[in-house]
Structure 1
Amino acid sequence: MFSSKTLVTLLALLVVCFSAPFVLASDYSNHPQAKAFVDKMVTEHGFKRAYVQQLINGAVRKQSILDAISRPAEKTKTWGQYRKIFVTKTRTRQGKEFMQKHAKTLARAERDFGVPAEVISSIIGVETRYGRNTGSYRVLDSLATLGFDYPKRGKFFTRELEEYLLLVREQKFDPTQIKGSYAGAMGYGQFISSSYRHYAIDFDGDGVADIINNPVDAIGSVANYFKAHGWQPGEPVTYTAMVTADHNADIANQKLKPKFTVAELEAEGYQSTVVIEGEQMATAMRLEGDDGIEHWLGLKNFYVITRYNHSKLYAMAVYQLSEELK
């Protein structure tokens, strides 16, 4: 017979033994996809194996990241609920302060790229409250967790992890120290790694494109992103619409990219509240606001905003906040 003290000791040992694999599984030192990733970084990009292996061994699986990506606000909230988060008096006040502080930089970005200062500021406001909240997760942990343990989009995030290592090598950043969102987005404008490499620019001429700590670079980079994705200077973003009793409800909320002309939408029962040239491309939207259903026509510039975040709620929040910042 075992004494009660011996039984307690045995039980404690069993707990340790059976728990150990799960503790080890919190990192990626032995994950098969991680091993393939290390091989790729070595063979395709010339990284030292020991360096990449050390980074991957130090990446930690975060369940909170997997939980967060499964319930994004853009897919779980109505427009009315979503708007209350991003279009507020506080965010408007902070935005005007940001615009005043960086007036010269914003004016230069608008001149160089054709993107209005209030739109640039609105993006930064919606993304990070003008740099106040840029994320608390290590980007290394976010991208490893989603790349190796989120099969639904694992390929995408593994590619972003690849881009991240290339980015930190190019910019001479410490890959273990940079923090961002649960999805690995960084800095004032929350660029993912591939966007950072392709669209971030050195807007203050110091030789580094730093959108993480430098608001000047961030402003120029957001403007550059919009220009690269087809922003049309001086053109509208979206207009409210009225619908006829027999309007074709099926064509609303179909695609973010405009696929009908304004004239075609009018024929389907969607009438803009202002005069729009009939050959312009537009998309019809039906949103559930606090006061009922709202109908909108999104034009090319509205679609450009959705290239930043593929959501009509997001683009509408950016647009309406920008209107408040004028």
Structure 2
Amino acid sequence: MRKNALSSSTPGLTRRHAIALALGAGASLMLPRPAFSNVQNFVASLWPEAQARGVSRAIFDAAMAGFSPSSRIMELTRTQPEVVNTTGQYIGNAVSSARITTGRNMRAEWAQTLGAVQQRWGVQPEIVLAIWGMETNYGSYMGGNNVIHALATLTHGQYRYDFFKRELLTAMQILQAGHVAPAQMVGSWAGAMGHTQFMPTSFMSYAVDYNGNGRRDIWNSIPDALASAANYLKEHGWRPGETWGYEVDLPSNFDYGRAWDTGKQSIGNWAAMGVRRTGGRQFPRADDSASLFMPAGGGGPSFLMLRNFDVIKRYNNSNNYALGVGHLADRILGTGGFVRPFPANETGLNRNDRMEIQRLLNAKGFNVGTPDGVVGPNTRRGIIAYQRAAGLLPDGYPSSGLLAHLR
């Protein structure tokens, strides 16, 4: 996972924050925002809306007691990324030997619960465990922030105001329903909560009371948390009994330009392009729809990603995250690492680096349009044309090695 303004000690927390922030973007930012002369006026302004949602005065007061906007949280919204990790670096951190070992131990410890969860929701135990491991390192770090106060800070600071106010009021409804006590409602600085890092609105839609005690307690009940993650995946289209994707080998004459432009197609069609599963294994179903993922271009492992990969991305919209979940799940099951390693000496590229690649391509006559740091079809084609002219592997991938060569 890239280290950025949303960073935490676990990769999953980082991307859950990113989802929260992205969902708050858009047209709502154009609306005028209320100005609060002091914290007391801000708190008072929340009460009518909380009351309209069925929150009692006692719960509201308990939730907001001692609230003071956190300068640390607001600073996190302004911090810009300085270091960008490659996919290989991200996977190395996310799927560590310690996390694999703990995942296997948790699989044995919670075998009965995981088996029952799979029977009811159709999601394999290793996938649920991998999400738990990625999100909070199996509950060892759930964020440590008072969720109500974190969301109130973001709302008071008018950061994605409509989105975070909605999450704040929803969090109060969760308290009103008695799912957790105010002091135990802990999570990330952006409001993602519990073992499985649900935002309050996701909690309301997908959290479940697995143990039947009348509370959906993703903070203190591991069974509730694991079942909630499985329910989330099921409701977003998880296909029981199927995997997330396959590592594949590409032929030496592979048409990378065509591959980048191709979206989903059947595995049979990919096979016709020379794509083979690693280790000489066969694909179970030639008619499965799959997309090709080349996170290091032609210089690292390549994958055909199935429907379940997209479902994992609904939990967290990041290719790296979904690959991390899938790979961690496989390692928990006992499989080895990827057949083809990631490049050892690559460094991540930030937006300025990508813009420099575009400027240098333009300067050398490979017109890719106005440099904007976005690697789209024109930039891919320009990279491939330059790589062919320079005798490099024409994979269209904007790497640190390519940037060095252009310089």
Q: TM-score range by the shorter chain?
A: 0.7 to 0.9
Question: Residues of 2 paired with 1:320 and 1:284: CA distance?
Answer: 16
Alignment of structure 1 residues 6-155 onto 2, 5 Å: 28-31=39-42, 36-42=45-51, 44-48=52-56, 52=60, 55-56=63-64, 58-68=66-76, 76-149=84-157, 151=159, 153-155=160-162
Partner SS for 1:296: strand
Amino acid at match of 1:28: V
Deviation at 1:125, TM superposition (A): 0.9
Residue number among 298, 301, 318 corresponding to 2:305 in the alignment = 298
Are residues 1:284 and 2:292 paired? yes
Residues 27/81 of structure 1: CA separation in 2 closer, same or farther (3 Å cut): farther
Q: Specify the alignment match of 1:247 in structure 2.
A: 257
Amino acid at match of 1:175: P
Q: TM-score normalised to the size of structure 1?
A: 0.77
- Structure 2, unmatched stretches of 5+, are 1-35, 334-407
Deviates more, 1:120-129 or 1:165-174: 165-174
Preserved CA contact (<8 Å) 1:107 1:117: yes
Residues 147/278 of structure 1: CA separation in 2 closer, same or farther (3 Å cut): farther
Which deviations, in whole Å up to 9, do the C-alpha atoms of 1:221-260 show, x marking residues without a partner? 11111111111011221123426144336448xxxxxx62
Question: Residues of 1 paired with 2:37 and 2:188: CA distance?
Answer: 19
Residue number among 252, 260, 266 corresponding to 2:264 in the alignment = 260
Q: Specify the alignment match of 2:193 in structure 1.
A: 186
Deviation at 1:261, TM superposition (A): 2.0
Residues 271/233 of structure 1: CA separation in 2 closer, same or farther (3 Å cut): same
Preserved CA contact (<8 Å) 1:38 1:53: no
Residues 59/297 of structure 1: CA separation in 2 closer, same or farther (3 Å cut): farther
Deviation at 1:134, TM superposition (A): 1.1
Question: Residues of 2 paired with 1:87 and 1:282: CA distance?
Answer: 24
Deviation at 1:63, TM superposition (A): 3.3
Question: Residues of 2 paired with 1:26 and 1:294: CA distance?
Answer: 55
Residues 70/325 of structure 1: CA separation in 2 closer, same or farther (3 Å cut): farther
Question: Residues of 2 paired with 1:251 and 1:276: CA distance?
Answer: 25
Residues 169/281 of structure 1: CA separation in 2 closer, same or farther (3 Å cut): same
Which deviations, in whole Å up to 9, do the C-alpha atoms of 1:54-86 show, x marking residues without a partner? 74473332233344456799x942211211221
Deviation at 1:150, TM superposition (A): 5.4
| Aligned-residue identity in percent | 31
Amino acid at match of 1:119: I
Preserved CA contact (<8 Å) 1:247 1:269: no
Runs of 4+, deviation exceeding 6 Å = none
Q: Specify the alignment match of 1:196 in structure 2.
A: 203
Preserved CA contact (<8 Å) 2:179 2:215: no
Q: TM-score normalised to the size of structure 2?
A: 0.63
Are residues 1:271 and 2:275 paired? yes
Residues 296/148 of structure 1: CA separation in 2 closer, same or farther (3 Å cut): farther
Residue number among 156, 169, 177 corresponding to 2:163 in the alignment = 156
Question: Residues of 2 paired with 1:147 and 1:296: CA distance?
Answer: 41
Residue number among 224, 242, 246 corresponding to 1:217 in the alignment = 224
Partner SS for 2:117: helix
Deviation at 1:177, TM superposition (A): 4.2
Question: Residues of 1 paired with 2:121 and 2:143: CA distance?
Answer: 27
Q: Specify the alignment match of 2:214 in structure 1.
A: 207
After superposition, the CA RMSD in angstroms is: 3.2
Partner SS for 1:314: helix
Partner SS for 2:215: coil
Question: Residues of 2 paired with 1:72 and 1:233: CA distance?
Answer: 40
